[in-house]
A and B are shown apart, each in its own frame.
Chain A
Amino acid sequence: MTASKTTSRATLITIIITLLLVALLGWRFYSLGNYTLARATQDFLNALTLGSLYALIALGYTMVYGIIRLINFAHGDIFMLGSYLAFYAMALTPMHWAAALLVTILLGGTVLLVIRALFNLEEPKKTITLALLLFAGTFFLLAFRHMGWIEALLLSMLATGVAGVLLEAVAYRPLRGAPRESMLITAIAASFFLENLGQLLFGPRVRGFNAETILNKPLSFSIGHDTVYFTGILVMVPLITALLLFVLNTFVSRTKLGKAMRATAQDAEVAQMMGVNVNQVIALTFFIGSILAAAAGVMYSIRFGQIHPLMGLMPGIKAFTAAVIGGIGSLPGAVLGGLLLGMIEIYAVSLFPTLSAYRDVFAFVLLILIMLFRPSGLVGEDLTEKV
C-alpha cells in the first residue's frame, strides 16, 4: 500500500497509455469520418463512470489482498447486497413505526457494536453520542418519509460494511493461518452462498431500480454541430468516487488506524508484535472495502437501472482484473487499473463494434496476460515467492 515510491512510474505509464488511446482514437477518427468529437466526449463520460465504479470495487479486492493475501471472491456479491439494500430502503419507506423501530434496533445495534469495536470507541461518552445519532437517524430515515437515493446510499453503505465484517468473522477468521488454497476455496463457497441467498431472499428475477432522481433525466450540450446526450449520474459517479477516494486516502495516510493498516499490509507478524490488533485491522479492511463496494453497487444500479442476484459476478471479476492490472495490493494501482479497464472496455466496443460480442472476454484475456507476463501489475510490488 505504499504510494510515494511508485507514483512517478504510475504517472508515466498512465500518460503513455492515454497517449496510445488518443492516438488510436485519432486514427479511427480520421479513417472513418463518422466518429465525431461529440461521440468521443460521450464515450469519455461513459468510460470515466464505468472506470470509477470498477475502481471503487477494485479497492476492496486490493485492500483485502494486501492485508491477508486472500482473493475475496465474494466481494462482487457484497456489491450486489449493497444495491439490494438500497433498493429495499427506497421501496419500503416510509415504514410502519413498529417495523421501523424493530429494524432500527436490529440494524442500529449491530452497526453500533461493529463500529465501536472497529474504531476503538471505548469512552462511554462517544459511544452514547454515536448510539443516539445512529438510532435517531435510522429511525427518522425509515419511519417518516420516502427515502431518497443519497440517504439510501448512506444507509446501504453502513449496513453492507457490517455485512462484510460479519462475512469475515464467520467465514474467513476461523481459517487464519490455513493454506491459501483453502481460504480461496472458502471465498468461492462464500460467493456462491451469497448469490444463492440473494436468489432466495430477493427472488431470482430482474428488478427495475428506479431511483426517481434528477440524475436520470436526460441532459445534453452541444459541441460544434453535434449534441452530447448524457444523464446526471454520469457526472455524479466520478465526483462521488473522487470524494470517497479522498476520504479513504486521508484515512489511510493520516490516521492511526490507517497507519496500523499499512503496517499490517507490510508485515502482519511484526505489526502484531508492535501492538497492532491485527484482527481489528482485518475487520476494518473488510468494513471499508464493503462500504466502497456498496457505494459502487448503488451507483451502478442507478446507472444501469436494474438489479438481480447475479449482478455482482461480471463487475466483480472485472474489478478484480482492474486490481490485478494496477498491481494487487496497491491502492493507487486499483484506481488506475479501474479507470484503465473502463476506458479499454468502452473505447474498444465503440471503436470496433464487431468486437462487442467479446466484451466480457476482454477482461479475462487481460487478466491472464497480466498474470502471466507481469504478475506485479503496473505499479504493484513484486509478490513472487522466494525460497
Chain B
Amino acid sequence: MRNTILTIASVGLAALALYLLSHMQGTSGLLSALTLIFIWGIAAVSLNLINGQLGILSLGHHGFMLIGGYVTALLMLPAKERRPFRTRLLSDWARNDLDLDKWLRGLGLDTIANSVDLKFVIALFLAGLAAAFIGIIVGAPSLRLKGDYLAIVTFGFGEIIRLLPNAPQVAAFTNGPLGIKGIPGNAGSIWWTFVVFLLVIWFFSRLKFSSYGRAFEGIREDEIAAEAMGVGLAYHKVLAFTLSAFFAGVAGGLYASYLQSVDTQTFNFFVTFFLLVAISLGGLGSITGAVLGTAIVILVRIYGGFLEESHTAFVGYISGAAVMLAAFAFSVYIRKSRRLRPVVEPKHYIFGGLGILLLLVALLFQGQPWMTQKVQFFGMRRILLAVILILIMIYRREGLMGRAELAWNKVFGSREDIPSDEQRDQDAWLSNPDLNPGAAKEDDDASA
C-alpha cells in the first residue's frame, strides 16, 4: 500500500517536473535528451527481456525497430503525400489503399480518424503487432539454436530486414534508400514518450515478478533444470522474443515519429550495439539498470559533442597521452588492489611508453605548423562507447546494478522480500522431514 502511494506520488512529481521544464525557457536541449532517453529506454528494456532475463544473446533488435518505424510512418503519412514514391509492383495498392485514415472511416470510426493523437496510438499498436509478427517468424525457427549461433542468426535476420526496404520490389512501399520523410505524429512532444515509457516500465516490472518472469530467469540459469521443472522452453522463449519485438516496434515507431523521417540508415546495426552497451552498462537482467544505462549512453552522445569538435593536433596528442597514461595507471591500480605480481606486466609498458612518447612528441614539436593545425575527431563518442563496453566486459560483467531493481523497500531499508530469521527458522522446520514428519506425509497425500 505504502509502495503504491509512493510510486504514484513520484510519478506525479516527475510529471510536475516535466511540466515545469517544458514551460521554462532554454530547456529544449534537456527535454529532447529526456525524450530520447524515454524512447531508447523502451527499446533497451525490451532487449533486456531477451538478453538479460532470458539470457539469450539476440543481435537483431534493429530489425524490429525498423519494422515499427516503417509501419508507423506508412500508417501516419496520408496516402496522397506518398505520390513521389517510385511506382512499381503493388504501387497502386500502396498509393490508394494503404491508408489508416481510409480504414478507420470505412469502419465508421470518424472520431478516431479526425484525431491525430488517437491515430498515432493505433499506428503505434499496429507497428508493435507487425514487429511482433516478424518476431514470431524470426524467433520460432532460430530459438532452437543456442549461444553464439543464435546471436549470429538473429543478426542475419536483422540485417536482412534492414536491407530489404532498399530492394526494388518493395521500394513502392518504402521509397527505397531515400526513406520516408515528413511523418506526422506527436512523439516530438515529451508527454507521449513519457506516458508510453511509464506503461512499458509498469508492464515489464509486473512481468519480471510474475510466473512468466520466473520462468524466463529459470531458463537463463539452467535450461535443462527449467525444463525438468515443467517450463516449456520453446513456448517461453518465443513468447519473450515476441514481446520484446513488440516493444521494439513501439520504440521504433516513437523514434521515427520523433525524427519525422525514417530510412534504412536510421536503424542500422549500430542501434543494437548502442542498446547492448546500455543494458550491459546498467546490468543485464535489471530493468532499472537498462534505463540507467540508456540514460548514461544518451547523455554521452548528446553532451559528448565537444569530443568531436575541431581541436588543434596538440590537444589531440596531449589527450591521447593522458588516455594512455590513465590506462597504465588504471591497470597498475587494478593489479595492485588484486595483489597480483608483477604489479606492472610487460604489456602495460606499451601503454605507458606510448603515452610518454605522445607527450614528448607534443611537447617537442609544440610550435610546428602540423601541430597547431585544426583536426576534427570524428567518431570519438562511438570509440568511447566501444571502450566502455570492452572495459565492462573485462572488469565488471554484472554492470552497475547487477540484477537488482530499485524498489521502495530497499530505499527505506526494510527488506520485506527477504524473510526474517524467525520466518527462516519456521521454513526450515516446516520443510525438514526429521523435525516435522507430518509435512512429508501431507505431501504424499497431496500427490496421491
Please give the residue numbers on chain A whose beta carbons come within 8 Å of chain B beta carbons, in ascending order.
69-71, 169-171, 174-175, 178, 180-186, 188-190, 192-193, 196-197, 199-200, 204, 317, 320, 324, 357-358, 360-361, 364-365, 367-368, 371-372, 375, 385, 387
Contacts and interface: CB of A to CB of B under 8 A. Distances in A.
Contacts of A371: 142, 145, 149, 152-153, 156
A71 B146 CA distance: 14
A192 B380 CA distance: 11
Contact of B160 (A170, A197, A200, A365): A365
B393 A175 contact: yes
B151 A200 contact: no
13 contacts: A175-B394, A182-B393, A185-B389, A192-B382, A192-B385, A193-B386, A196-B382, A200-B377, A200-B383, A324-B152, A368-B153, A368-B157, A371-B152
B148 A181 contact: yes
A190 B378 contact: no
A364 B387 CA distance: 28
A361 B393 contact: no
Given A186-B393, A199-B378, A368-B157, 5 more contacts: A178-B393, A186-B394, A188-B59, A200-B378, A372-B142
A193 B160 contact: no
Nearest to A356: B168
A371 B142 CA distance: 9
A192 B273 contact: yes
B379 interface: yes
B217 to A, nearest CB: 16
Contacts, number: 117
B35 to A, nearest CB: 25
B163 A361 contact: yes
Nearest to A106: B357
B48 interface: no
Interface in B141-174: 141-142, 144-149, 151-153, 156-157, 159-160, 163-164, 166-168
- Judged by DSSP, the binding face of B is helix
B387 A372 contact: no
Interface string B160-195: 100110111000000000000000000000000000
B280 interface: yes
Interface in B364-403: 377-380, 382-383, 385-387, 389-390, 393-394, 397
Nearest to A383: B149
B347 interface: yes
- Judged by DSSP, the binding face of A is helix
Contacts of A375: 145, 149
A368 B152 CA distance: 8
A361 B379 CA distance: 27
B276 interface: yes
Contacts of B389: 185-186, 188-189
B14 interface: no
B21 interface: no
Given A189-B393, A192-B382, A184 B145 contact: no
Contacts of A71: 148, 151-152
A341 to B, nearest CB: 14
B224 interface: yes
B57 interface: yes
Contact of A184 (B151, B160, B224, B397): B151
A7 to B, nearest CB: 25
Given A180-B147, A196-B383, A375-B149, A364 B57 contact: no
Nearest to A71: B148
Contacts of B393: 175, 178, 182-183, 185-186, 189
A193 B270 CA distance: 12
A190 B390 contact: yes
Contact of A181 (B151, B160, B347): B151
A387 B379 contact: no
B152 A367 contact: yes
Contacts of A367: 152-153, 156
Contacts of B383: 193, 196-197, 200
Given A174-B394, A182-B393, A360-B163, A200 B386 contact: no
